A and B are shown apart, each in its own frame.
Chain A
Amino acid sequence: MEYLKPDEIVELFKKKLDESAIIDSRVETKTAGVKKNSYSVIWLQVNPISFKDAIKLLCTIQFPHLAIISGNDLDKEIELTYHFSIYYGGRFKEISINLATYLPKEDLKIPTITDLIPGAQTTERELKEMFGVTIEGLPDLPNIFLPQDFPKGVYPLRKDEKGVEIKVERKDEVKKIE
C-alpha cells in the first residue's frame, strides 16, 4: 500500500476539491516516548457545501475509521468536527484527520454520510438529538440517547435558548459581596 504524507493529503484535498472548499488547514506533529517517535494529526476546515465531496475523497484514500462527531455551539453557528483516522494497520502509519465545518443556525443542515460509512449512524443520530442538526438522508429513527418523551425543540448541548437550563448551583464558587 502506498502511504501519502500528511502534507500530501492536505494538498490532495486542496487540488481535488473546489477552490473554496478547504478554508483552513493545519498539520500537527506530536512526539512520544524516549525515542521521540512522531505521529501526525491533520485539522481541516471544510465548506459545508463541499463537505460530502470531502468525505467521498477521504474514502478513496483508504476506508476511513470514523471515531465520533463532536459539536460546538458558537452562538451564531454550530461547529461540527468529524474525527477520522486512516492508514491503520501499520506501525507508526496511522494519521488522524479532523474535518470541521461551520453551519449557520438558520440553516442547520448537513448531508448524511451513512451511505458511505454505515457505522456513522449512531453518532449522527446523537448529533441530531443533542444539537438539533438536520441530517439529510438519515431515516427518521426514534431517539437514541434521550428519552422517547423528551420535549421537542429542546437540544441539551446547545448553549442558546434551545438548550436546557443549568440547575446546578456551584458551592465552591466564591460569590462577591457588593
Chain B
Amino acid sequence: MSKMSYSVPIGPVHPSLKEPMTFNFEIYGERIEKVNLAPGDNHRGIEFMGRQRNPIQIIYLAERICGICSASHPFAFCQAVENAAGIEVPERAQYIRVIIAELERIHSHILWAGVAAHELGFDSILYLTWRAREEVLDLLEYLTGNRINYGIFMIGGVRRDITKEHIPRIKKTLEYYKDIYAKLEDVFLNDPTIALRTKNVGILTTEDALRLCAVGPTARASGITKDIRQDQPYAAYADLEVKAITPDALTGEVHGDIYDRIIVRLLEVVQSIQIIEQCIENIPSGEIIAEKKLVKLLNQLKKAKGEGIGRHEAPRGECIHYVKLNESELPEVWKARAPTYNNLMTWVPMLIGQQIADIPIVIASIDPCIACMDRVTILNKDNGQKSILAKEDLHKLSVQKTRRITP
C-alpha cells in the first residue's frame, strides 16, 4: 500500500476560549508532516466596536480583550492615548501600574504552569499551582476590587491608590510565593517525566523565532534577549533593573524547547517578585492621576490631534496598541495587537516532526490565548471515512504517552 497520510483538523470553537482556532494537520503514522493554521473562528470585531466608543469607554473594552491579560491591554492602550494626546502620567501612578502588571504576570505564569501540567497528565500539579494562584488573585481583589478585569487603569494615571495599609498584605503574598517557588521549581525542573516529555520537543530555533517575529517568553526561550521592559523601558520600569531572562541563566545553554519555556516562565515569576519589592521600596508620593475630572479629560481628548503607540510586555509577550486622535470624540484609529497574534506562526516549525500526543503540550507551550481544543476530525484519505476525536480523546492520548514513558 502506498504511503497513507491523514488530514487532522483540530478546533475551532470552545466557549472558554478567547481566540478559538482550527489546526489542519497532515499526519503520516504518528508524525506531523504539515500544519495549516486557520484562526478567526470567533473574531469579535473589537476594533470595529471601538469605533463607536470614546477613549475612556475603550479602556473597559480593551480590558475585556483577554481575561488573563486584563491589565496589559488597558496599560498599552492608555499609554498610546497619552502619547497621542501628550498627557504626562504622575510618577506614583507609573509605579502602581507596574505593581499591578507584575502581579498579573505572577498569576498568568502560574496559571500556565497548571495548564501545562494538565496537558501532560499531572492533574495533582494543576491543583497545586491553581491553589497557589488564588493568593495573588485575592491580593489583586484587595488592591483593585476585582479578581480579573481590574478596572484600575485610566488615561493619565490610575483610579485607586496603594496606601500604607496595603503594603503588609502585598509583602505577605510575596513571601508566600517565595516559599512556594522552591516547590514549583522542584516539581517542574527536577521531575524526570516532565523532562522526558518536554526536552527536545517543540523546538523553535533562534533564527525561526527572529524571522517569525516571535515575542515574549517564546522568543526568550529561543535565546533572543527581547523584553520591552529592558529594551524600551516605559512607566516605572525605566527606574528598575530589569533584564530579559533566557534559559541559559539556569542551564547554561539554549535549546528552544518546551523545557526552556518552562524555565523562562518560572524565573520570570521570581523576577516579578523582585520588581514589586523594588517598586514598594521606591514608590514616590504624589498624585495618582493627571486629570481627576473625567468630563474635563474627555474634552481634552476631544481637542487632541496626534498619533501614538503604547507597548507593554504582557505575560505572553509584547502587547502593542496604536491610537490616532483627530479632534473628535471618537478616536480615528485604534489598533490592538495581542502577543499570540505574532506567536501564532511559530507553531508551524514547532509542530512539524512531532507526534499527535505532543500536540496539546506544544500548543500550550507558547501560552496561547487559545489553549483548548474541543474536537478533532480524522479523515482517512483512502476511503474518505471520518472519525471524530474529541478534546478528551486527544488529552487521553497525551496522558497515555506520559504513562508509557514514565521510568
Contact = CB atoms under 8 A, between A and B. Distances in A.
Interface of A: 28, 30-37, 39, 41, 43, 63, 65-68, 70-72, 81, 83, 85, 87-96, 98, 117-123, 142-147, 156-157, 164, 166, 168, 170
A83 B282 CA distance: 33
| Residue of B52, B231, B284, B337 most packed against chain A (CB within 10 A) | B231
A85 B318 CA distance: 11
A148 to B, nearest CB: 9
Contacts of A89: 224-226, 231, 244
Contacts of B243: 91
Contact of B234 (A39, A67, A88, A121): A39
Interface of B: 38-40, 43, 45, 47-48, 51-52, 83, 91, 94, 210-215, 224-226, 228, 230-239, 243-244, 282, 284, 307, 309, 311, 318, 320, 322, 324, 332-333, 335, 337, 341-342, 344-345
Contacts of B318: 67
A20 B257 CA distance: 47
27 contacts: A32-B233, A33-B94, A37-B238, A41-B309, A43-B307, A65-B215, A67-B318, A68-B322, A72-B324, A72-B332, A81-B322, A83-B309, A83-B322, A88-B225, A88-B226, A90-B231, A92-B232, A92-B233, A93-B231, A96-B232, A98-B309, A143-B40, A145-B39, A147-B40, A157-B47, A157-B48, A164-B48
Nearest to B236: A33
B232 A70 contact: no
B233 A118 contact: no
Contacts of B91: 33-34
B309 A33 contact: no
A170 B341 CA distance: 31
Given A34-B239, A37-B238, A65 B94 contact: no
Contacts of B45: 156
A32 B43 contact: no
B43 A146 contact: yes
Given A67-B320, A93-B231, A166 B52 contact: yes
Contacts of A39: 232-234
Select the residue from A37, A67, A87, A157 with max chain B CB neighbours within 10 A: A67
B30 to A, nearest CB: 28
A94 B211 contact: no
B235 A121 contact: no
Nearest to A84: B213
Contacts of A119: 211-214, 342, 345
Nearest to A130: B47
B230 A117 contact: no
A30 B228 CA distance: 14
A166 B45 CA distance: 12
Contact of A118 (B212, B235, B324): B212
Nearest to B240: A33
Contacts of A43: 307
Most buried by A among B38, B224, B335: B335
A116 B179 CA distance: 47
B52 to A, nearest CB: 6
Interface of B is mostly: mixed
A68 B212 CA distance: 12
Given A67-B320, A89-B224, A92-B233, A118 B38 contact: no
- 3 nearest interchain CB pairs? A119-B213, A33-B238, A94-B231
A123 B341 CA distance: 9
Contacts of A168: 52
A85 to B, nearest CB: 7
Nearest to A156: B48
Given A96-B309, A122-B342, 14 more contacts: A32-B237, A32-B238, A33-B235, A35-B239, A39-B233, A63-B210, A83-B322, A85-B231, A89-B224, A90-B230, A95-B232, A119-B214, A144-B39, A170-B52
Contacts of A146: 40, 43
A41 B307 CA distance: 11
A87 B225 CA distance: 11
B38 A144 contact: yes
A132 B45 CA distance: 16
Given A35-B239, A68-B337, A89-B224, A145 B231 contact: no
Contacts of A120: 213
Contacts of B39: 144-145
B94 A144 contact: no
Nearest to B243: A91
B67 to A, nearest CB: 20
Contacts of A32: 94, 233-238
Nearest to A145: B40
Contacts of A36: 238
